[in-house]
Amino acid sequence: MRTGDQTLLRMTGIVKEFPGVRALDGVDLDVRAGEVHCLLGQNGAGKSTLIKVLSGFHQPDAGTITWNGEETSFSTPAKAIEHGVATIYQELDLVPHLDVTENVFLGHEVSRAGFTQRGQARTLVRDLLARLGHSEIPPTRIVGELPPAKQQVVSMARALSRNTRLLVLDEPSAVLDQEGVANLFRVIRGLTAEGVAIVYISHRLEEIREIGDRITVLKDGRTVATGLAVADTPTSELITLMTGRSIEYVFPSRPKSDHTRGEVVLDVQDLGLAGVFAGIDLKVHAGEIVGLAGLVGAGRSEIIETIYGARKASTGTVTVDGSRIRRGSVTSSVRAGMGLAPEERKSQGLLLHEAVYSNITVSSMARFSRLGFLDRGAERSRATELTTSLDVRPSGVGRAVRTLSGGNQQKVVLARWLMRECRVLLLDEPTRGVDVGARSEIYQLIRSLADRGVAVVVVSSEIEEVLGLADRVLVVREGVVVHESAATSIDEAAVLDLVMEGKVPA
Amino acid sequence: MSQDSARVEQAALEADRERGPVLALLRTSVGRNAGLVVALLVICIVGAVTAGDRFSSTDNALTVLRLASTIGVVSIGMTFVIIGGGIDLSVGAIVALSSVWCTTVSTQLMADDTHWIVMVGVALLVGGACGLVNGLLIAYGNIVPFIMTLAMLASARGLAEIISDKKTQILGAEGADVSGFKDFFNREVIGVDAQIWIFALVALGGWVLLNRTTFGRRTVAVGGNPEAARLAGINVRRQTVYLYVLVGVCAGIAALLLVAKTTTGTSTHGNLYELDAIAAVVIGGTLLTGGRGTIVGTVLGVLIFSTLTNIFILNNRSFSEQSLFKGAIIVAAVLLQQRLASRSTTT
A416 to chain B: which residues are within 8 Å by CB? 232
Q: Shortest CB distance from A365 goes to which of B3, B7, B214?
A: B214
Pairing mode, if any, of strands A36-40 and A197-201?
parallel
Average pLDDT of chain B? 85
Asked whether B307 and B255 are in contact (CB, 8 A), the reply is no
Distance of alpha carbon A67 from alpha carbon B200, whole angstroms: 71
**Residue B180: pLDDT band with limits 50, 70, 90:** confident
pLDDT at position A479 over 90: no
CB–CB contact B217 A403 (8 Å): no
B342 contacts chain A (CB < 8 A): no
Q: Do B231 and A347 touch (CB under 8 A)?
A: no
* B6 pLDDT higher than 50: no
* pLDDT range class, residue A268, cuts 50, 70, 90: very high
| pTM greater than the 0.80 cutoff | no
Identity of the residue numbered A436: V
* Residue B66 belongs to domain with CATH number: 1.10.3470
d(CA A214, CA A204): 15
Confidence bin at B27 (pLDDT 50/70/90): low
Q: Tell me the chain A residues in contact with residue B139 when contact means C-beta distances shorter than 8 Å.
A: none
Return d(Cα A462, Cα A470) in angstroms, integer. 12
Q: What is the pLDDT of residue B2?
A: 42
pLDDT of residue A504: 47
The residue type found at B321 is: E
What ranges in A323-462 are assigned the alpha helix state H? 330-336, 356-361, 376-390, 406-420, 436-451
* pLDDT tens readout for residues B103-126: 887 766 555 566 778 888 999 999
Chain B positions in Cβ-Cβ contact with residue A304 (cut-off 8 Å)? none
- For residue B11, the distance in angstroms to the closest alpha carbon of chain A comes to 11
CB contact under 8 A, A363 and B233: yes
pLDDT of residue A456: 94
Angstrom distance (rounded) from CA B262 to CA A396: 53
Stretch B84-113: mean pLDDT: 84
Q: Nearest to residue B89, comparing CAs of B332, B327, B279? A: B279
A358 → closest Cβ in B1, B2, B217:
B217
For chain B, how far is it from start to end, CA to CA, in angstroms?
A: 10
Quick check: A362 contacting B, CB < 8 Å? yes
Residue A333 scores a pLDDT above 60: yes
Contact pairs from chain A to chain B, CB under 8 Å: 93
> Hey, are the CB atoms on A334 and B345 less than 8 Å from each other?
no
Strands B264-265 and B169-170, by their bridges, are antiparallel
Nearest CA in chain A to B209: A373
- pLDDT bin (cut points 50, 70, 90) of residue A307 is very high
Q: Is there a contact between B124 and B107 (Cβ–Cβ < 8 Å)? A: no
Predicted local distance difference test score (pLDDT) of residue A310: 92
- Interchain pair B10, A19: CB under 8 A: yes
Please count the structural domains in chain B. 1
The SS3 assignment for A286 reads coil
Nearest residue in chain B measured CA to CA from A377:
B212
What would the mean pLDDT of A280-294 be, rounded to a whole number?
91
- Chain A closest CA to B235's CA: distance in Å? 6
| Residue with more model confidence, B220 or A159 | B220
DSSP B266-296: -TTTTTTHHHHHHHHHHHTT--TTSS---HH
- Has residue B251 got a pLDDT over 60? yes
Contact: B228, A347; criterion CB under 8 Å: yes
- Predicted confidence band of residue B248 (pLDDT cuts 50, 70, 90): very high
Q: Could you tell me the pLDDT band of residue A260, with boundaries at 50, 70 and 90? A: low
**Which helix (H) or strand (E) segment is B306 a member of?**
helix B295-314
Model pLDDT, residue A17: 83
Tell me which residues of chain B, numbers 228 to 267, contact chain A at a CB-CB cutoff of 8 Å. 228-235
Instruction: Name every chain B residue with its beta carbon within 8 A of the beta carbon of A19.
Output: 3, 6-7, 10
The per-residue pLDDT for range A352-392, each reduced to its tens digit, is: 888 999 999 999 988 898 888 999 899 999 999 999 988 88
Question: How far apart, in whole angstroms, are the C-alpha atoms of residue B290 and residue A351?
Answer: 12
Alpha carbon A8 to its chain's center:
29
pLDDT above 90 for A94: no
- The predicted model gives A282-287 an average pLDDT of 91
pLDDT on residue A187: 86
More confident residue, A378 or B186: A378
Are the beta carbons of A362 and B13 separated by less than 8 Å?
Answer: no
Between B266 and B132, the more confident residue is: B132
Of B4, B217, B221, nearest to A374 by CB-CB distance is B217
A334 → closest Cβ in B225, B233, B292: B233
Could you tell me if A51 and A9 are in contact, meaning their C-beta atoms sit under 8 angstroms apart? no
Domain range spanning residue B201?
2-344
Q: Which amino acid is at A266?
A: L
Average pLDDT over residues B185-213: 90
Label residue B257 by pLDDT band (50, 70, 90): very high
Q: How far is B9 from chain A (nearest CA, A)?
A: 8
A36: pLDDT strictly greater than 80: yes
Q: How far apart are CA A35 and CA A25, in angstroms?
A: 25
Ordered domains of chain A (ranges, CATH): 7-242 (3.40.50.300), 249-337+422-506 (3.40.50.300), 354-420 (no CATH)
Which one has a higher pLDDT value, A19 or A276?
A276
Return the half-sphere exposure (C-beta side, CA atoms, 13 A cut-off) of residue A88: 29
Q: Does A335 touch chain B (CB under 8 A)?
A: yes
Nearest residue in A to B214, CA atom: A372
List chain B residues with CB under 8 Å of A365: 214, 217-218
Q: What is the mean pLDDT of residues A147-172?
A: 86
Q: Is B340 on the interface with A (CB under 8 A)?
A: no
How would residue A244 be classed by pLDDT, with cut points 50, 70 and 90? Answer: low
Would an 8 Å CB–CB cutoff place A234 in contact with chain B?
A: no
Q: Answer for the pair B79, B206: CB distance below 8 angstroms, yes or no.
A: yes
Interface check for A309 against chain B (CB to CB < 8 A): the answer is no
**Dist CA B62 CA A10 (whole Å):** 78
A350 touches chain B (CB under 8 A): yes
CA-based nearest residue to A471, from A291, A340, A300, A339: A291
Question: Which residues on A lie below 8 Å from B14 (Cβ)?
Answer: none
Q: Which residues of chain B neighbour A22 with C-beta distances below 8 Å?
A: none
Smallest Cβ–Cβ distance between B212 and the set A21, A352, A374 belongs to A374
> What local confidence, expressed as pLDDT, does residue A290 receive?
94
User: What length does chain A have?
Assistant: 506
d(CA A225, CA B71): 71
Residue B176 has pLDDT above 70, yes or no: no
**Pairing between strand A455-460 and A289-293?**
parallel
Of all residues in chain A, what percent carry a pLDDT higher than 70?
93
Looking at the partner chain, which of B221, B291, B345 has a beta carbon nearest the beta carbon of A362?
B221
Residue A412 in this model has a pLDDT that exceeds 90: yes
Give A145 to chain B, closest Cα distance, Å.
Answer: 23
Exposed/middle/buried for A39, CB within 10 Å: 0-12, 13-18, 19+? buried
Of all helices (H) and strands (E), which one includes residue B153? Answer: helix B145-164
The chain B residue lying nearest A414, using CA atoms, is B232
A117 touches B: beta carbon within 8 Å:
no
| Most confident residue range from A7-11, A249-253, B140-144, B312-316 | B140-144
Q: What gap in Å lies between CA A401 and CA A419, rounded to an integer?
A: 17
CA–CA distance, A62 with A494 (Å, rounded to integer): 35
ipTM value > 0.90: no
Tell me which H or E stretch contains A15: strand A7-18
